[in-house]
Structure 1
Amino acid sequence: MSKKKPLSHGQLRRMRANQQKRLSRSKSGDDLPEIQDSSLGPEQPAIVISRFGQHADVETTDGQVYRCNIRRNITGLVTGDKVIVRLAVEQTATISGVVEAVHPRKSTLTRPDLYDGVKIIAANIDQILIVSSVVPAFTTQIIDRYLVAAEDTNIPPVIILNKIDLIEADEQAAIDEALQRYQEIGYPVYKVSSKTGEGVQEIKALLNDQVSIFAGQSGVGKSSLINALLPDAKLAIGDVSENSGLGQHTTTTAKLLHLPSGGDLIDSPGVREFALWHLPADRVGWCFIEFRDILGTCKFRDCKHLDDPGCAIQDAVSKQQIAQDRFDNYHRIIASLDEQRHARHFRSGPDEQ
């Protein structure tokens, strides 16, 4: 008898995922029958506050929140989606209605996932607030990754430096200089301390009548900043690990929160590094906004912007029209693309490529 061929990484992953789905359905009630149409009321507009498997918490125009089933033909429902729902005429303690349809989105924030490809995190966002801090260590590399992600989705980004009360005297000049470079190319920059309250009022004004989302490494203080902006939120705050220096994840699913000013804030799961492997190199270059007017003017069409002769980008760096730091971060991102794609190939298995 021939020996069975061992399962690939992708096959093993799918098998485990299917087992987990079956367990989750049995625990959460996802395998219960759909609510009968005859027991549902008329259609009405709502917004998705949060998503849980095959259920979504939606808020209707009267401010009431209901947990609803999602029609099987609706895929990829996320926090911030504007939807049409039908509520049960007789409410129960568990499921209160059904999400029937989703309105077209004006914007989506996506994040690459090693297993599932590009995933939508949230929808209908007006601005991305990129939060950085001095703990974990301040780095422009992470800021530039988030800026590329924001530019790729055409959602205006804002840079926020949190925990300014922890800046050491010998760090101040370098951090101010780095932030000034972002302001010079057109990005708004705010400095804030959720601990002392410094700068919090400016952030509140920034959020007025906008749908905003915080993005940034775990540990930069997104949850504590949200608590300072909206004390009633009372979000869990994670400490920075003493061993790794990295933040501990405290948010497990995206949530939409209402601000007293009238704006909305989406609190999304933290990520330690925003992967960009789904973007081609020329798109990454375009997402560096100070490169745009120069791209396409190099001597050779396939210019890598390294030591290529006649490189217009290199020339702009030498003339200080492009900051050396931003140029270096661009090449770090380009160099990381193949590494991240290789990691995805290894984890998902060659049969899925």
Structure 2
Amino acid sequence: MTKRKKLSKGQSRRIKENHQKRLNSATQADEMTKNSVSKGQPEWQNDNLGGTEAAVVISRFGQHADIETVDQDILRCNIRRTVSNIVCGDNVIFRRAKVSQGDLAGVIEAVEERKTQLTRPDFYDGVKVVAANIDQILMVSAVLPEFTPSIIDRYLVACEDMGIKPILILNKVDLLDNETLEYVQSVLDIYRGIGYQVYLMSNKTGEGITQLKTLLVDKNSIFVGQSGVGKSTLVNTLLPESNILTKDVSENSGLGQHTTTVSRLHHLASGGNLIDSPGIREFGLWHLEPDRVTWCFKEFREFLGGCKFRDCKHLNDPGCLIKEALENGKISKLRFESYHKILESMADGRAGARAPRV
């Protein structure tokens, strides 16, 4: 019989470490079960649950979610611990409780495959899903707190990366004087020339509101943009019964104030759906590779792969087709500079995983 080879010290140490990890995992699982019982989380037994039904998530609250059934019943349900990452807009499978437990009317058992998902990087969760099954993203900006094309470009990169159609909305245009309007229009013409849809709106005067309603017909849409640009005000105009809280831009700081705290899906009379999401002041792109960011500037795409050097930085490299396109007026200076600012922020932010305030 072959003599068994003795384990090395390293192998013995790793075996002990793996064994301890299993013990720790088992202990944590037991603690989770105890905690869920002690905190009053219902233990859903099969004999208290009906058959499976389909629904859509209209809002998420910790371990609970509000869902809407095919019969348009609104129910608050618990989420199975085996189900993770449920967000507004998800299509789910749930089971209705025969006897409700408190305000909970059932349990979500599974999430259906998503058509699209809106994501953003998060310090603690990596890439975090914000909403699901979106047809178009309405990017709202305004002259207050500040009209910043570089923020628009960050959103556009994110939209291109996720494959969701972006629509640019400049809100509060009633605050523009003729000189400022001329400048803003010249900037927006750059985006129109690339092929993006751009709309000017004012909730105060009603400009563009009819166009906005038409854009939303039979679509699942979401508003994104910095706090204070008027997203919630627009939702109130579209859905007067929603009563979304709104606040003005702070006179002291010039910054928008957060009003919406939880994403929520609203039905439109047109048949479409609108998700109102918490304001996002920063939209980091540190999770993307530089080559992906380059591709997401869609006017750059026809020049990609043709530069003299394969590792071209598209800045001062000889034989760079993108720099040549800039000099020939085929690419705007504003977008070219914005592109390099994004790459710089990614290089600075990968260690801290943060995009700079712009």
Could you say whether these structures have the same fold, taking a TM-score greater than 0.5 normalized by the shorter chain as the test?
Answer: yes
Instruction: Kindly report structure 1 stretches of 4+ aligned residues shifted beyond 6 Å.
Output: none
Aligned partner of 2:47 in structure 1 is 38
Structure 1 match to 2:146: 137
- Residue 305 of structure 1: which of 314, 319, 344 is its match? 314
Q: 8 Å contact 2:170–2:201 — kept in the other structure?
A: yes
Q: Could you tell me whether the CA contact under 8 Å between 1:214 and 1:222 is conserved in 2?
A: yes
1:121–1:30 distance in 2 versus 1, CA, 3 Å: farther
| Correspondence list, 1:174-189, <5 A | 174-189=183-198
Q: Which residue identity is paired with 2:229? A: V
Aligned position for 2:234? 225
Of 156, 160, 163, 2:165 maps to 156
Find the counterpart in structure 2 of residue 7 from structure 1: none
Shift of 1:177: 0.8
The amino acid across from 2:148 in the alignment is T
Given that 2:42 and 2:101 are in contact with CA atoms closer than 8 Å, whether structure 1 keeps it comes out as no
Distance 2:247 2:150 in 1: 22
Aligned to 1:57: 66
Match of 2:44, SS? coil
**1:130/1:158 contact within 8 Å kept:** yes
Superposition map of 1:249-268 within 5 A: 249-268=258-277
Instruction: Give the SS at the match of 2:302.
Output: coil
Q: Give the letter for the 2:197 counterpart.
A: P
2:129 to 103, 120, 123: 120
Q: Distance in 2 between matches of 1:195 and 1:84?
A: 42
Match of 1:284 in 2: 293
Given candidates 179, 190, 214, the residue that maps to 1:205 is 214
Structure 2 residue aligned with 1:12: none
In the other structure, the counterpart of 1:240 is 249
Matched to 1:193, the amino acid is: S
Partner of 2:305: 296
Contact 1:111 1:120 in 2 (8 A): yes
Counterpart CA distance in 2 for 1:203 and 1:177 is: 22
Amino acid at match of 1:61: V
Count of aligned pairs between the two proteins: 322
The Cα offsets for residues 166-214 of structure 1, whole Å up to 9 and x where unpaired, read as 1122211110011111111110111111122111111001000000010
Q: CA deviation at 1:291?
A: 0.5
Q: Kindly provide the amino acid, as one letter, of the partner of residue 171 in structure 1.
A: T
- Per-residue Cα deviation, 1:125-162 (whole angstroms, up to 9, x for no partner): 00000001111121111111000000000001000110
The structure-2 alpha-carbon separation of the partners of 1:147 and 1:30, relative to structure 1 and needing over 3 Å to count, comes to farther
- Looking at structure 2, the residues matched to 87 and 256 of structure 1 have their Cα atoms a distance apart, in angstroms, of 21
* Change over 3 Å in CA distance of 1:296–1:328 after alignment to 2: same
Query: What is the aligned-residue identity percentage?
Result: 57
C-alpha distance in 2 between matches for 1:285 and 1:232: 43
- Structure showing greater relative contact order (alpha-carbon pairs closer than 8 Å, 6 or more residues apart): 1
* Residue type of the alignment partner of 1:284: V
Deviation at 1:29, TM superposition (A): 8.3
Distance across 2 between alignment mates of 1:169 and 1:34? 63
Query: What is the aligned partner in structure 2 of residue 192 from structure 1?
Result: 201
Give the drift of 1:94: 1.2
Deviation at 1:73, TM superposition (A): 0.9
Q: Quick one: distance in 2 between partners of 1:30 and 1:53?
A: 13
Answer whether contact 2:286 2:353 (CA < 8 A) is retained: no
Per the normalisation by structure 1, the TM-score is 0.88
* 1:313-328 → structure 2 map (5 Å cutoff): 313-328=322-337
In structure 2, how many angstroms separate the alpha carbons of the residues matched to 1:98 and 1:92? 11
Counterpart of 1:14? none
Separation (CA, whole Å) in 2 of partners of 1:305 and 1:314: 6
Are 2:143 and 2:173, in contact at CA under 8 Å, matched by a contact in 1?
A: yes
Query: Distance in 1 between the 2:302 and 2:220 partners?
Result: 30
Cα RMSD for the two superposed structures: 1.8
AA at the equivalent of 1:41: G
1:115 is displaced (CA, Å) by 2.2
Which is further off, 147-156 or 244-253? 244-253
Select the residue among 61, 70, 82 that pairs with 2:91: 82
Tell me, yes or no, if the aligned pair for 1:115 and 1:344 is still in contact at 8 Å.
no
- Asked whether the equivalents of residues 285 and 330 of structure 1 are also in contact (C-alpha less than 8 Å), the reply is yes
Runs of at least 5 residues in structure 1 that lack an aligned partner in the other structure:
1-17, 346-353
Supply the distance in 2 between the matched residues of 1:208 and 1:92 (Cα, whole angstroms). Answer: 38
| Aligned residue among 100, 119, 128 for 1:91 | 100
* 1:338, distance to aligned residue in structure 2 (A): 2.1
Do the aligned partners of residues 313 and 29 (structure 1) sit closer, same or farther apart at CA in structure 2, a change above 3 Å counting?
Answer: farther
Alpha-carbon separation, structure 2, partners of 1:241 and 1:153: 33
- Residue identity opposite 1:108 in structure 2: Q
Contact 1:39/1:89, CA 8 A, preserved across alignment: yes
Larger radius of gyration: 2
| Aligned-pair CA distance for 1:30 | 5.7
- Post-superposition shift, 1:62? 1.1
